[in-house]
Structure 1
Amino acid sequence: MLLVVEVIDVEMIKLYRSDTFIMLGFTRVEEFVYMARPIMVILGGGAGKGLYPLTKTRSKAAVPFGTKYRLVDIAISNCINSEYYQIFVLTQFNSGSVNRHIVQTYQIPPFLDGFVDPRAASLTADNRHWYQGTADAVRQNLGTICGAAEISNAQQVMIVSGDHLYHMDYRKVMDFHLKKGADVTLCVNPVQRDRASTLGIAQWDDDHRVTRFVEKPKDDALIDSLQIPHDAEEFPGAFLGSMGLYVFEIEWLKQFLTDHSDRHEFGRDFLPGVVGSSRVFAYAFEDYWENVGDIRSYYDAMMQLCKPNPRFDFDPVINNHRHRLFTRGRSLPPAKINGATFENAMIAEGAILEVRTQISNSLVGMRAFIDTDVVIEDSILFGCDEYEAIPERQRRFQAGEIPLGIGSGSRLSRCIIDKNVRIGRNVILENRSGVMFADAEKYSILDGIIVVPRDTVIEDNFRIE
């Protein structure tokens, strides 16, 4: 059934599916403000220094997640689930793999009048610099963004980070932005004090209009002053942490970026200066959101996926929502379990687990090969880019070389094993001594977690105990 949507303050009429309104919780079509869709801009160019060595050969947005996805899939999937199909992804550091993934994965059907366009940073006659920050990345692509907006009659641009974990219906943010008549809307997530110094923190009035914004406050007295009063009706005692997600009126953004070419970061240089002079509002997002900025937060986010009821999940039946997570289809066979046992684990397609192997609280990526009598606990295996055929594995054994995968008799605990790693027989990676930080030729220990970089070869009988 199709319904004609009543448009408020917009000279446009659109057709919309009735089940969309049910999903969003509206009982009448008139409750939902709808206008031309915004242009979506995903910031996917970060170097991800906090996730090194996982970002040694890839950008942060391209880091694998959940056995078969990449972090950038989350933001793009949120766009598609919100029926926003005109999407630019701005990339820069180690952009080859993420650009290739986007092009191979996201082909928007022509009848939806959309695209997913990776825009790698480049030097031109008019621009002699790489992206200097989030705002500068948008500034350097402003002509392309405004051109797409003119063609589609979009009046807003929504800018989101390409490496955060959350399910969000962006239409609710747009509805809030339009009803407030805002120039700028930023999304905030209520956080506790221990995270306040790592995020931009906003304050608002009773109408959710932002009255103050401080980027990553460090001083204790300053942090105290940004806390929501304990007797407040909404989020008492919490802090409003910026999610790095913004909606701008395009003409307003174009004028501001043109007039302030020396401002490169939205959080640090942009928001603090416009709070008093423009209509800036904050949309509160209360569901799960995580910025995986370091190895510890990334590891914890992956581990919670193994729980029976994780806070971030791919299964719409379990969580009673309709958000699907998209990625590239690879036509791999189902995982093959040859007598292995596992508990609270995620096993990707194409993986092969041999007899007497035990896996618990772990994620096993695509095409991973795990030989006999292996024990894996609380670990993340990215898998492999290709299979190694049995004759090739046998040849390597005979030549004294290490084949792809995890060799027989090995034990892994609290590890992150990057792609295409070759681990020999009877290897122990456990860190029982509790070393917090170490840097060696074949591995790193970061916050107590053993990280083995991509393409590493670990010989038989190697030990970290």
Structure 2
Amino acid sequence: MRDLVAMVLAGGRTDALGVLTEKRPQSAIPFGGMFRVIDFVLTNLAESGVEKVGILSQYKPLSLMDHVGIGRPWDYNGRTRELSFLPPYQGSKEIDWYKGTADAVYQNLHFIERHKPKDVLVLSGDHVYRMDYRPLIAMHREKKADLTMVFKPIEVSSPCRFGIGVVGKNGRVLRYFEKPEVPESNLVSLTIYCFRREVLEEQVKENARTGKTFHIYDEIIPQLVQHGKVYGFIFRRGWEYLRPVSAFYDAHMRLLRVRGEKVSMERVRTNLEEEGLAEAPPVYFSSGGVATRSLVAPGSMIFGGVRRSVVFPYVRVEEDTFVAESVVFHRCHIARGARVRRAILDKGCFIGEGAVLDGGDGLIVLGKGVKVMDGAVLKGTMEILPDRVVG
């Protein structure tokens, strides 16, 4: 699909994910036992035949750039396929960088102008879902739309934390509200936009002159709904927002369902050279090791018990240890006799012998490299900053 480019918004830090984004953007957070969040949108683009992709990165991008590289795992290293990182270039301080999503696109209009596509996909790299974008693009072109945006029917609350659209019978977006106090519908915007190129260029240039928030969702979209041709494409499969940290945790628990809506992880591509995934041996279970209703990645060694948890590669769970309802990132070591329940452990954490972590009705979240000493007891909702020693 050479008459289209994609711009992936993957640069922001979100306080809603706390210590998990202390050293990386949300798009680079591990997800699903083997992947990173951005793997899903890149896989979608590759399978949809989108050949030109720009990743708009800003906050602590090293982890993201190391993972994506030149895009080889998604076949973005050929003569006609291209993946580029597009960091901000205005200003010398972080506060001078991208002011918002519209400003991020505006600062990178050179990427669009170089390829001169017919249409531009603008996508969040912070969400987890599997989608073929081709039906969306086909609808957009059939309707001769200025913008076609993707909605999903979801049970919403008041006030609503999502953008909400009201869509007519012909698919035209009649009204759009960003985070309304009282939502008029249950159609949630998924931050998946297909713009006609000329419209996007005109809108971000105007927004650069007159904007206040410099965001697409609360300044450009309402303007286009009122004065342009905006259509809604309805998506009905699994989609995960991942914020706040409780939503990130719940998304992992949904992966363990046998029935019910969840995001498919079939054929998701990732960088297997990173973290030694390509060389990881099969998971090992000792005679006393057991895992039930869990995902356990290669390279892990299970000598104790794991129940209803997601365990990433190279995790070691020792004898007489029990891990339940938890998400354990790469290369964590949970020592003999420890108990871990309702916790998220970032990469390289060590839980000492006989230590107890119990999130109760909340969650315990440990940043990268946290060490919990032997016999320490952590209970209730809490976050521990990376590289701290507790107990």
TM-score by length of 1: 0.75
Contact 1:104–1:328 under 8 Å retained in 2:
no
Partner of 1:335: 283
Cα deviations across residues 97-130 of structure 1 (Å, max 9, x unaligned)? Answer: 01111106536365561122222223369x9931
Say yes or no: does 1:425 pair with 2:339: no
Query: Does 1:406 pair with 2:353?
Result: no
Matches within 5 A, 1:147-166: 147=114, 149-150=115-116, 154-166=117-129
In structure 1, the partner of 2:83 is 116
TM-score by length of 2: 0.89
Match of residue 134 from structure 1: 101
1:388-436 Cα deviation digits (max 9, x unpaired): xxxxxxxxxxxxxxxx61110001111101111111100111144x4xx
Residues 351, 372 of structure 2: 8 Å contact kept: yes
Q: Deviations over 1:34-57 (max 9, x none)?
A: x74410111101212111111111
5+ long unaligned stretches in structure 2 = 380-391
Q: Is the 8 A contact 2:237 2:263 kept in 1?
A: no
Q: Calculate percent identity across the aligned residue pairs.
A: 27
Structure 1 counterpart of 2:389:
none
Q: CA RMSD in A?
A: 2.0
Is 2:295 aligned against 1:361? no
Map 1:293-442 to 2 at 5 A.
Answer: 293-309=243-259, 311-314=261-264, 316=266, 324-329=267-272, 330-331=277-278, 332-339=280-287, 340-354=289-303, 357-384=304-331, 405-432=333-360, 434=361
For 1:195 and 1:165, the matched residues in 2 are separated by: 24
Distance 1:109 1:353, change over 3 A: same
Asked if 1 retains the 8 angstrom alpha-carbon contact of 2:51 and 2:76, the reply is no
Contact 1:381 1:417 in 2 (8 A): yes
How far, CA to CA, are the matches of 1:311 and 1:49 in structure 2?
27
CA distance in 2, matches of 1:118, 1:273: 29
Deviates more, 1:71-80 or 1:190-199: 190-199
Q: 1:267 aligned to 2:181?
A: no
Flag the structure with larger Rg: 1
SS in structure 1 of the partner of residue 38 of structure 2: helix
CA distance in 1, matches of 2:123, 2:363: 29
Give me the whole-angstrom Cα distance separating, in 2, the residues matched to 1:341 and 1:279.
56
Spell out the pairing of 1:42-81 with structure 2 (5 A cutoff).
42-81=8-47
Map of 1:279 onto structure 2: 229
Q: Which one-letter code corresponds to 2:238 in the other structure?
A: Y
* Distance of 2:292 and 2:70 partners within structure 1: 33
Structure 1 residue aligned with 2:199 = 252
Q: CA deviation at 1:192?
A: 2.1
1:327 CA displacement:
0.4
Structure 1 residue 66: Cα displacement? 0.8
Give the counterpart of 2:160 among 176, 187, 197: 197
Aligned match of 1:453: 367
Q: Judging changes above 3 Å, is the alpha-carbon distance between structure 1 residues 250 and 422 closer, same or farther for their aligned structure 2 residues? A: same
CA distance in 1, matches of 2:233, 2:172: 9
CA distance in 2, matches of 1:309, 1:461: 38
